[in-house]
Structure 1
Amino acid sequence: MAEDLWSQRRTTLADVAKAAGVSRALVSIVMRDAPGASAASRERILAVAKELDYRPDVRARSLASLKAHVIGVLFGRAGRFHFELIDGLYSAAEERGWNLALSALTNSRDEKQALESLQDFRLDALVMLGPPVPDPLLAGHVPTVVVGWHVDHPDVDIVRTSDEHGLTLAVDHLVSLGHRRIAHLEGGSGLVSQSRRRAYSSAMRARGLADQIRVVPCGGEDQLDGQRAARALLQEDAESPTAIVAFNDDIAAAAMSVLAQEGIDVPGDVSVIGFDDSELAMLPGVDLTSVQQVPRELARLAVERAVARSDGAEVADREIVLEPELTVRRSTGPVRER
C-alpha cells in the first residue's frame, strides 16, 4: 500500500491548467492566492485542483522563494490534550498554506537533540508545546512561540490559558458546594505544574483556606503518575480531603479510578476536578468537571503569531492569555456531612 502511494505521479500545475482549460500561470496565481484571477476562474481552478487531488510541491516552492513556509513543532510526552493541540496546529497551518515539521521529546531525547532533528528543514518559525523551559535554545535565532507557559525572554511569544483564572474557578466551584479540605494533585516539577500549584495555593488563600492547602507531589502528568499520587494521598496520615483539583484530566481520571477501587464514591465522598476539558473528560464513564482549554484556538493563535513573526510583523503584546471556563459535570457535588 505504501509503495503504491509513493509510486503515484504527483499532480502538477500543468495538469490542473490542462483540465481547467487555462494557462499554467493563471493556476499558479490562484494557488498562491495572488491577485490577477477573476472570481469565476479562481472557483473553477480550485474545484479542478481538488478533483485532481493537487498538492503544492513544498520543496519547489521553497527553492523559488526565500521562505520554506515550514513551522517546526517540539512536543513532549503527549497526553490527550497535546494530541488535540497538534491536530489544531496542522489545521491552522494548512489553512495558511504552511507545513509542519514535528520533533518529539522523550526520556532520552532532550530539547537540543529534538531541535537537531529539525536542522534539515528550512524552518521559518518554531512552536513549542514542550519542553516547558524558561529560556528556549532558539530564542532570538528563529521566531519562537511557546504554548502553555510563560517565558521572560523578550524574543519569545507566548500563547497560554490563564492557570490563575482556571484554578480560581475550580476552587471557587468547590467552595460553593461546601468543600474546605481541597487537595491538589500536581503534575511534576515543570513550569506549567509550578504555575498551577501557585494558582491553587493563591485561590485557597483568597477563600480563607490557607490552613487547608495540601499539595500532593506527582512524578509527571500521565495517568500512571496520577494513580501513584492518588494512592499517596490516601495513605497520608491526615484527614481525608473532600475534594481534589488535579493538574490535568489524565491525573484526575486516574485519581477517580483509584478512589473507585478503594470504595470511595465520586462525587458522594470526594469531588474531583481536572484541567483541559479534553475528550477524556467527556467520556460517559468519566464525566469529569474540568477547566476548559480550547486547543484549536490555542493552536490557531500560535500559528498566526509564528507566521506574523516570520513576516517581520510587530505586535502590541508578545503574550496572549485566554481566560478559561469551568465545564461542570457529574464528578463534583455538595460536600457530604460526616
Structure 2
Amino acid sequence: MPSSPRRTTLAAVAASAGLSVATVSKVLNGRSDVAPATRSLVQSLLLEHGYVPRASRRAQEARPATVEVWVDGELCAYSTEIIKGAIEAGAESGVGVVVTHMKADDDASWVGDLVAAGRLAMIILANEPTSAQVAALSLAQLPVVVVDPPNPPAGPVSSVGSTNFAGGLSATQHLLALGHRRIAYLGGPANAASNQARMQGYRAAMEAAGVPVPPEYVRTAGFCYPDGMKEATALLELPSPPTAVFAVSDECAAAAMQVARARGLRIPEDLSVVGFDDTEIATMTSPQLTTVRQPLREMGKVALRTALRLASGEKIESHHVELATELVVRESSLAA
C-alpha cells in the first residue's frame, strides 16, 4: 500500500479527478452506481494519494482484535472444520473470529461496516470477492484470504487450498489397485477449481492405467448431499453402472451409499465408495468411509495466521498455499 501522507482529504482526491466529492465517496463506499471508467480512475487516485477513511484511522488506532470469516450458504461439516481451525488459531493469537454469511452480489458498501467494526482482516470460505469488492477492500487496507477459492484469485488476494489433483489421483489409484475398472466420478460444480483438479487427478489415474472413461461416468453437480443423491441415482441407473465411485466430497459419498442401499446394493461388496475431505461424516457412515483427507482445520489456521500477518504489514512468501492431502482407507472400499 502506498505510504502517502494520511492527511489527504476526500476533497483533494475529488479535485484531482475533476469529480464531485459525492462521486468519490460513492467509489470509496463501494456503491455500484458509478461508471467503471470513473471507478477505476478514482480508485487509482485514492491509492496514489494514500487516502485512508476516517473510520479506518479510528479502527487502526483502537485496533480491535477481530477477523471476519464469511461463509457462502449454509454451514456444513466441511466449512465447520475450517472455522474451528480459524477459531483455534485466533485464540492462540488473542484474536476473535466473527462468522457471517457471504454477500454474493457485486456491492461493496459493506466494506465500510467492516472497517467501522474494527476488523483486522477477513477470510472467505469457498467463494471469491468480486473485482469491485477487492478494490474496496484494498482501499480500506483490509487484507483478505480465501480458502478453497472457486478460481485462482487475482490481485492482492491470498488463498489457501489443498493438493486436490494429488488427492483425486490417489483416490482413483486406490480403486484401480483393488481391481475396479468401472469407476465413476461424482463431481462438484463444473467451474470450481477444486472440482476440476480432483477430476483431472481421476482422469490421469484412469488414463495411466489404460482404462477408458465413458462420458456418462463423469457427473458434475455440487458438493452437498442432495447433489450426491441426484447424480448417484443417475449413475446407478446406467445400463452398465459403476462398481466404484469416487465422490468429490464426503457428503456426496454418503449420498451415493444411501442411493446404493435403496437399490439393494451392499457397500462395499457391490459398490465401493471413496470420498474427499475426511470430515466427521466419514466416521459416522456405516461402513466407515474411505476418503481423501484434506487438512481442513489446518487450512483454517493457516488462513487466520496469514490474514494477521498481512494485517500487520508483514510480507508473505507466497499468495497461495497448498496443504498436502492423504488417502485414509477405511471400510467402504473393497476388491472388485
TM-score w.r.t. the length of structure 2 is: 0.73
Question: What percentage of aligned pairs have identical amino acids?
Answer: 30
Task: Kindly indicate whether residue 115 of structure 2 is the aligned counterpart of residue 116 of structure 1.
Answer: no
Report the alpha carbon displacement of residue 195 of structure 1 after superposing the two structures with TM. 3.0
Residues 290-329 of structure 1 aligned to structure 2 (within 5 Å): 290-329=291-330
- What is the CA-CA distance between 1:159 and the residue it aligns to? 1.1
Structure 1 residue runs without a partner (length 5+): 1-61
Could you tell which deviates more after superposition, 129-138 or 176-185? 129-138
Deviations 1:247-273 (A, max 9, x none): 100010011001001011111111100
Matched letter for residue 143 of structure 2: P
CA distance in structure 2 between the partners assigned to 1:63 and 1:125 by the alignment: 12
Partner of 1:92: 89
RMSD (Å) for aligned C-alpha atoms: 2.4
Deviations 1:26-59 (A, max 9, x none): xxxxxxxxxxxxxxxxxxxxxxxxxxxxxxxxxx
Amino acid at match of 1:103: T
2:122 corresponds in structure 1 to 126
* SS of equivalent to 1:137: helix
- 1:223 is the counterpart of 2:225: yes
> What is the alpha-carbon distance in structure 1 between the residues aligned to residue 330 and residue 132 of structure 2?
37
**1:289–1:332 contact (8 Å) kept in structure 2:** yes
Amino acid at match of 1:241: P
- Other-structure match for 2:80: 83
1:262–1:135 CA distance, 2 compared to 1 (3 A): farther
User: Aligned residue for 1:206?
Assistant: 208
Paired residue type of 1:143: P
Structure 1 window deviating more from structure 2 (88-97 vs 185-194): it is 185-194
Q: What letter is aligned with 2:160?
A: V
Cα deviation, 1:38-94, whole Å, max 9, x if unaligned, reads xxxxxxxxxxxxxxxxxxxxxxxx868352322111112322111111122112112
Sort the Cα spacing of 1:287 and 1:71 in 2 relative to 1 into closer, same or farther, 3 A. same
String of CA shifts for 1:104-153, please: whole Å, max 9, x gaps: 14xxx515469828534222211110325686832661311111235241
Write the letter of the residue equivalent to 1:147.
V
Q: Cα–Cα, structure 1 residues 102 and 284, in superposed 2: closer, same or farther, change >3 Å? A: closer
- 2:223–2:248 contact (8 Å) kept in structure 1: yes
Deviation at 1:156, TM superposition (A): 1.5
Q: Counterparts of 1:190 and 1:136 in 2: how far apart (Å)?
A: 21
Task: Describe the SS at the equivalent of 1:138.
Answer: helix
Aligned-partner Cα distance in 1 for 2:130–2:247: 23
Q: Cα–Cα, structure 1 residues 221 and 152, in superposed 2: closer, same or farther, change >3 Å? A: closer
Segments of structure 2 that go 5 or more residues without pairing to the other structure are 1-57
Mapped to 2, the partners of 1:223 and 1:114 lie a distance apart of: 32
TM-score (norm 1): 0.73
Residue in 2 aligned with 1:147?
147
Q: Distance in 1 between matches of 2:219 and 2:276?
A: 16
Report SS of the residue matched to 1:145.
strand
Distance 1:136 1:282 in 2: 42
Residues 173-322 of structure 1: matches in 2 within 5 Å?
A: 173-191=174-192, 192-212=194-214, 214-218=217-221, 220-236=222-238, 238-283=239-284, 285-322=286-323
Please say which of residues 208-217 and 300-309 is displaced more in the overlay: 208-217
Q: Summarize the Cα distance change of 1:125–1:160 in structure 2 as closer, same or farther, 3 Å threshold.
A: same
- Partner Cα distance (1:197, 1:256) in 2: 20
| 3-state secondary structure, aligned to 2:270 | coil
Show the counterpart of 1:8: none
Residues 285-332 of structure 1: CA distance to partner in whole angstroms, max 9, x if unpaired? 240000001222111111111111111111222211111111101100
Counterpart position of 1:103: 100
In 2, the alpha carbon distance for the partners of 1:133 and 1:123 equals 17
Question: Does residue 73 of structure 1 match 2:69?
Answer: yes
Amino acid in structure 1 at the alignment position of 2:174: H
Partner of 1:159: 160
User: Aligned partners of 2:241, 2:80: CA distance in 1, in Å?
Assistant: 34
